[in-house]
Amino acid sequence: MDSSLLFAAGVAGAAYVITPGPAVLALLGIGASQGRGAGARFLGGHMFGDLLWSGLALVAIIGAQAIGTFLFDVLGLFCGGYLFWLGWRAVRARRTAEGTLDTSVGRPLIRGLAFGVTNPKSYPVAVATFTALLGGHASELTWASMPMLLGAAFLGFLAAYAVLLAIIGAATVRRVYRRYELWITRASGVMFIGFALHAVLHAMPGLMPKRA
C-alpha cells in the first residue's frame, strides 16, 4: 500500500480528533479543573467513539468506491460542501450568553465515552474529513486496505491525543484559550474550508464530461 495513503489516513484521524468542537472544549474544561489525568481518562472513553465513527466513515467511502468512482466523486463533492458549511459557520461565530462549560465531571471516562458515541456530528464530520484527505487515492481504497487505513487513523488519534494532553494542563494555554476561544474557533473554520476545497478539487475532474 502506498505510504502516502497511510499518511493521509493518519492526518485525517488527527484532524478529526484535534479540530475544536464540543469534545475538545469539554476536554479543556476538564483539564482546567481536574488536570491531565482526568483529561486522559476522558480521551480514553472518547477513543471508542472515534474508532466507531471513523470505521463507519471508511465503510461508506470504500463502499462508494467499490460501486464506482462516480459515486465516490459525488460523495466527495457533498462532503466538501458540508465541510465548507461547517467552516463558514465557524468563521462567522459570535459569542453568546451560553458559552460557558460545566467542568465538573465525576467520571471522565464515562463522559468521554458518551461524547464519543452520541455526538450527532461525529459521523458526517468523519466522512467529510476522510473523504477530503483520501480523495486523491480513490483507486487504492479497497476492503482489504481498510484495516491498515483504520490503523493509520488510530495512530493519528494517538498523536492528536498527545498534543491535547500536552496543552490542557498548562495554565497559560487554558487562559489564552479562554480569552481567544472565538478566534480559535474561527481559525478551525478556515481549516475546514481548506479541507472542503481539497475535496471539491479532487471530486470535480471525475464529474466533468469526458471528451471523445
Give the model confidence (pLDDT) of 149-207 as tens digits.
999 999 999 999 999 888 887 777 767 766 776 777 677 778 778 877 877 777 777 66
Cell matching residue 203 = 471530486
- Residues shown for the chain: 212
Cell matching residue 172 = 497559560
Selection from 118, 119, 112 nearest residue 38 by Cα: 112
Give the model confidence (pLDDT) of 57-75 as tens digits.
888 888 776 666 676 677 6
Distance CA 39, CA 160 (A): 13
Give the model confidence (pLDDT) of 103-137 as tens digits.
345 677 887 787 677 665 677 778 888 888 887 77
- Residue 15 included in any domain: yes
- Residue 122 included in any domain: yes
- Residue 123 included in any domain: yes
- Cβ-contact 72, 61 below 8 angstroms: yes
Cell matching residue 187 = 481559525
pLDDT at 14: 92
Mapping DSSP to helix (H, G, I), strand (E, B) and coil, where does residue 3 land? helix
Q: Across residues 46-64, what is the average pLDDT? A: 84
- Residue 212 included in any domain: no
- Residue 24 included in any domain: yes
- Residue 210 included in any domain: no
Counted domains in the chain: 1
* Chain mean pLDDT for the chain: 77
The parent domain of residue 16 ranges over 3-205
- Residue 211 included in any domain: no
- Residue 148 included in any domain: yes
Q: Give the DSSP letter of residue 209.
A: P
